[in-house]
Amino acid sequence: MPYVPAVGGELLEVVTFGDLRRRMARLGVGRRTERPEFHLLLHVSSGGMLHTVDFREYAVSAGSWLWVRPGQVQRFGDLSGVDGSLVLFRDEALDRSSVSVTGMGDPFGRTLWTPDTDSSTAAARALDHLYAEFESLPRDSAVRRPVLQHLLAALLLRLTDPGGQVGTAATSEHSEPFLAFRRRVEASFAHHRDVGYYARELGYSPRTLRRATIAAAGMGAKEFIDRRVVLEAKRLLTHEDQPVEQIASRLGFPDTSNFVKYFAHRTSTTPAAFRARSRGRDSAPGAQGRDDGTP
């Protein structure tokens, strides 16, 4: 799903859940699986909802925040009893420094925050300020873009502050071997599934990568790679209409039967069966997937 703002040229857009419900009704769009090419930050101010991100279901209650990143598959639950706001934005909406500090470019970044009352109020104020300026600044104003970008950065900095300004359980620090391994896997998983390749490329021993990955992710390096491949397979099978053979090729499997065996061994179902089940859930009111394929 490409980023198509209501007004061309905008790097970000702020809408209420009421706006979203009206848009969905006008376009005849129900709850379906989508794969946005942009960031989607949700804040629930009252009520609650279930939201599925990469085949994991999250309960988003009042005061909670949920961040969907580009490339992830996501699906809205029942929006009838929830109020709040959504911020849609492209990567270019933040300066390089803010991207680094907030972890915006991290495809494994945190998805859900359930803040305490005081910290939630501070972040909600930042969102209110962003929404007010988004609505009031003239579209042709020379200061519109920089003001909105700065306010978005302020909101995300509040949200991701490791000191715990918002939310519980700040993300722990990971070792450099794991971070380097994770980055390389993200870039190369469709072509390389062997731990030895990553060890040679990064200058670490396979044993070092295994230990670092167990410490950071609770699994071995090989399983980490396999889970990333399976996650991408699930995303493609759910969201795209390409035949299984083409998806197998995109993921580095020249032989479709090998891909089917690989997928079935790790998910206990075939790619075709997973696709049918996943898309069947799309059309079932209130149905949500619960198998977590994230690394």
71-120 per-position pLDDT tens digit? 899 988 888 889 999 999 999 998 888 887 887 877 778 899 887 655 66
Nearest Cα residue to 53 out of 290, 264, 249: 290
Residue 180 has pLDDT above 80, yes or no: yes
Q: What is the dihedral of CA 243, 246, 247, 248, to 10 degrees?
A: 120
DSSP states of 18-35 = HHHHHHHHHHT--S--B-
CB atoms within 10 A of CB 11: 18
CA distance 127 to 118: 15
CA distance 177 to 117: 37
Please answer whether residues 73 and 34 qualify as being in contact, where contact means their C-beta atoms are separated by less than 8 angstroms.
yes
Chain mean pLDDT for the chain: 85
Tens digit of pLDDT for each residue in 163-178?
A: 654 444 334 457 899 9
Tens digit of pLDDT for each residue in 116-125?
A: 655 667 788 9
pLDDT attached to residue 229? 96
CA distance 243 to 190: 17
Q: Which CATH superfamily is domain 12-160 in?
A: Regulatory protein AraC (2.60.120.280)
Q: Can you tell me the mean pLDDT for 118-145?
A: 88
Per domain, the residue ranges of the chain are: 12-160, 176-282
pLDDT attached to residue 171? 42
> Does the domain at residues 176-282 carry the CATH identifier 1.10.10.60?
yes
Do 176-282 and 12-160 fall under one CATH topology? no
Tens digit of pLDDT for each residue in 195-212?
A: 999 999 999 999 999 999
Please answer whether residues 154 and 101 qualify as being in contact, where contact means their C-beta atoms are separated by less than 8 angstroms.
no
Residue 167, SS3 per DSSP: coil
pLDDT attached to residue 114? 84
pLDDT attached to residue 221? 96
In this structure, of 40-54, 97-111, 143-157, 275-289, the range with the lowest mean pLDDT score is 275-289
For residue 198, give every residue at least 6 positions away whose Cβ sits within 8 Å of its Cβ, in sequence order, or none: 181, 184, 185, 188, 192, 209, 221, 225
What's 7's DSSP letter?
Answer: S
pLDDT attached to residue 220? 95
Residue 270 has pLDDT above 50, yes or no: yes
Residue 27 has pLDDT above 90, yes or no: no
Residue 52 has pLDDT above 80, yes or no: yes
